[in-house]
Structure 1
Amino acid sequence: MLDYFRDSTLARRQFFDREYRIVRHDDQRIIWVHGLGKLELDEAGNPVRMTGTIQDISARRVADERLRLFHEVFQAATEGIIVTSSEGHIIEVNPAFTAITGYPAEEAVGKTPRLLKSGYQDIEFYQHLWAALLDQGVWAGEFVNKRKDGTLFTQQSRIGAIRNSQGEITRFAALISDVTSLKESQRQVEYLAYHDGLTGALNRTSLYAQMLKAINKSQKTGEMLAVCYLDIDNFKPVNDEWGHDFGDRLLVEAVNRLQTCIRASDAVARLGGDEFVVLLCGIKHAEAIAETVERILRSASEPYTIDEIIVVTTISVGIAVYPDELAQDPDTLIRNADHAMYEAKRSGKNRMHFFDQEGDRKQREFQTQYARLSSALEYSEFRLHYQPKVALRTGEVMGVEALIRWQHPTEGLLPPGDFLPVIESTELTLPVGEWVLHETLRQKQRWQKQGINLSVSINVFAKHLQRPDFAERLQRILARFPEVDPTGLELEILETTAMENLDDIIRCLDECRRIGVRFSLDDFGTGYSSLTYFRKLPVDAVKIDRSFVRDMLGNRNDQALVRSIVSMARTLGRQVIAEGVETLEHGDYLIDYGCDQAQGFGVARPMPPEMLPDWIARWQMPEGWRARQDRTG
């Protein structure tokens, strides 16, 4: 300022006109002022004084700075911004709007947002939008709109009404985002998660959902439901002689034939390989089941012509009918139909067989095993083995998962598949689950004393989370291990179990998270409502089911599904852990996809706790993974 005064006002005899800062004498505050002054000269032309005014402009400078900041934010925002008059005419748009829609500001200003209209939304949609804007001052939702080049895109919008001091609407402002890619990714994951990628038939997840609906309807109407388990007879020789591609095409044609034999209310699902389930719903007379299956058998036995090669195959069908007092759930009905299908094969193939009610014997076996498992808990026969999880980018050991085993007194160490289904279906779930939690925390405390501080995860069933006192019981158990930081405990929610009262479960999870416990969604992609749970549950990580990871090396559908799950999880800020990493090649694919952690036999088999320290000391990141990480950056 002094330079300006010397060089301009004194030297050139110009008016003093300058904005500058001063320190106020009374309170030592720094303020901005605008000085205006004129030099007074003596007879010789020498300056003797300057007279003028000084005005405090601090408020204006703050306002100018805010306007500049708002302008910079407006221009740099990654979301499109539209400002309209109260009549809806566009006043201003930002560069992001142009990037999303293709319309530059000069073509949009003066128009209305109707220039983006695609015709996909009806008049009722816009009536609800305006009602919300006028009544509540805000509306949020999605449009399908049209860009300048005519292409459609999904637009996520939040529109707000701007009012003056009298409460009158003077402007509308909207934030818009192009979520087309996210929607397409969601649709792709949704389809792959619920349909068989080869044949387009329902997969196991969708079949279970359909069966639950059909069972519920049957309970209300009294109508029957038939589960028909189908297996193509002698399919392996066809595959061996003509190749897998030929076999795949035959499977596709087989599904097409099945679809022509059933009604729109029925369903076809592929469970894997050449095994299918046909679900017949709303059956009023038992004879209708046999008639439909006879039609299926005739259709399936017609010759297949593929690339001028004629093949004749047949199918064997096992049938389980609901209602059945011994089979009240999808698992049991499918299992019973499967057993019946094997009876049809043993009886000569190319025929049907209804499940015979020998459930009494199976029920007795179940009760025997239940009693034995109760004793196993009482006499401390359960053991925990731990399987490491490692970071794919660095090779660092991130944690371990606790996996239950049964040290049977006569049969040796039994894997969970031999006994866990019985536990899951009975009230043993709670005491066994709490034993696992106690033992895991006790072992984590031992490791900490050895200088090993790893995150530990355990499986928790929806039946636990649905208990109103789950969070309270968890806190009591944690309180018995004060040396263990709750943030080092992760509970894996088994997504294969249907969850009732989802809102209550979410509240339970939030209460547990407040004390530091973390959650992950286990077996993602195999359960009842994968995307719903993924979107709503406040989990920190998602574990891709081992079946997708294990088979992805030779299955493009599984590759696409794994890649889509990783992409969506990263978009939503969730960690991704891949189960079933059995080889180094699995890790190569997962590194390329951006997966965070790996777990499986390719890293380490589950091991007793005393073996873990030595394993950690020996573990090194595979050179192939390190090299691939270096190449991919």
Structure 2
Amino acid sequence: MLLAYLVACVGCFATLDMAERVAHAEKSASQTRWRWVGSGCLAGSIWAMHFVAMLAFQAPIDLYYQLPVTVFSLTIALLAAWLAMHTLSLPDLSLQQCLKASIGIGLGIATMHYVGMTAMHSNAEVYYHPGLFALSIAIAIGAALAALLLAWYLRDGTGMLHQLFKYSASLLLGAGVLSMHLTAMAAFNMVLPGDSLPAQTGEHSHLQLALTVTVIALLIIGSSISAALADKKLQHKDNDLQRVNSLVSQLDQARMSLQQVAHYDPLTNLINRRGFNQIFAEKLMEKTNEGGMLAVMFLDIDHFKRINDSLGHDAGDDLLKVLAQHIKSSIRSHEDVVARFGGDEFCLLINLHDREEARHMAQRIMLKMKEPIELAGRRMVMTTSIGISLFPEDGRTCEELLKNADLALYQSKGSGRNGLNFFSANLKTRAILELQLEEELRHALREDTGLMLYYQPIYDLKTGQVSKLEALIRWQHPVHGLLVPDRFIAIAEANGLIAELDNWVLRKACEDLGELSRKGCEDLRIAVNCSPLNLAREELADEIEYALRVAGVAPNRLELEVTENALMGNIANTLVLLRQIRALGVSLSIDDFGTGYSSLAYLKRLPLNTLKIDRSFIQDIPKATQDMEIVQAIIVMAHTLHLQVVTEGVETFEQYQFLENHGCDFVQGYLLSRPVPLAELHPVLNEINQRKHAYTVTALSLAHGTSALM
């Protein structure tokens, strides 16, 4: 009986192992193979268990077994086992399917048992106890159900705990199968005829046969388990190899993705700066060895920032995609290279035969760029500025050619945009000069040397006195002499020096106001210009307050001049900053009025005190009737908004008289005086202020008739 139990347990363990192999097999042929091996193990173990257990049955009669019936019982066991393995190979197994299959399997095992018992022949009469008979069938079905559920549960697990659970389940299932056999044997009854005699049993021969069957069954089942283990290891190795191959493939994909990210622009799918530089270096080496020309073109989309500011960055990105396709469609795709360097800047590398070929290519691109584009419900036309450098005449290295193309682009943008320029030596000379001026300007600001303020009087037409001065910066350069702002303000704005420069002017003007107060000019005010870039800084109000406090000057003696375009750049933030400055007591003036937006809608919202009419409206008076009408309208409008009016650029007596007659409040220009340094200011102020209001016009005309010619 112990041998029978051992066979049953080993067979159940093999069945669980085969179910696991079926579940993990990837190919259909492998699943079929392991399903049949599992069926054989299960059928063989159950049949061997039954046979060995039957050999343990002892009776005082002669017993023998019919081989065909015994073999037939094995066939029944094989069919039941195949049903079990087929059920376990299903991808999804419901409880209802388990119940149906367990009934079939249980009936199959019971049938195998009772058919096997019919193979046993003797002279005794056989009958079965109905209750125990039914109980044995129920135990068979229950054992089958437990086996299916446990096999389904255990087929996907791994690890030591899983193996221990599988061993425990095998012992339990073996006990269930053996219980069914014992129950069936308990239902089995034999009645000897009255005249028969008990016979001697050959238990030793039965034990030997049982051992033989057990060993054969265990060898067969053990071989199957070994094969399953070997297959499991091979499958693990295959899976490991597949994982390695998958990792290698993923690494290749990651490498390609990184290369794509590293060398291509994700928005336009053009190559980026790094990819361009790599191709450029290869092309340059090729042309250096074999001869030939190359052109490097820098393209910058004109006024692209307006698109982002007005329509949003998403619309800007969509526009860049379209423009990138326009550029790409304008070149020879098999020979030339297009790259996006960032923002709205593109770069082209073109193979050339002569210089004019580069010009024609640039003109073709400019023409293509002017095609109307539908964007965000609008139809717009964009233009581009192009700078071109040539290999080998403009440089022999990547850095030199890119730098020279950039200089040519800068020239195109400075010439009004929507144009192209080739690099020339003059551009390089100017760039070197600007770089030198930038370094020297930094030094001048750091050491506070060379920078100075000149002051131009602003004359009050109603009082006949100079009431204000405009502070104008000058730079006494050690080599180039006295430089006016036009020579270095743009350099300061382009290189982040404008905030420091404006702050220097502010502090110096406040110091000079204190000096003027000590010399008896307590009512004189000074107007200071503010760069558009500086007006965007939130720290400006604090810097003004600090400069006034250190110099000990009343805030109402300082006036800040800002341009229209600077005010309209970001009206919401600008309005907050201007109100902070006005809260300090500082006056605000809008400079160069008429050259920018000239919007009344914005003008009435701004906390301004003064409006300054640009000199371009004055220079042709009295010859230009239209300019005279414009100036009159501006004066009336300003007074309606309770603003004082200053007109700059007054150089003739006729201009002065026209402004006085039409209610202008202040005039400024060479008719009164050129800008002078602080040390020369007092004589000029005394000369102007000593004139009587009654003959101011005549005196100015006579005294400064020659000044207008200077």
TM-score (norm. length: structure 2): 0.41
TM-score (norm. length: structure 1): 0.46
Q: Which has the higher helix share?
A: 2
Q: Which has the higher strand share?
A: 1
* The structure with more radius of gyration: 2
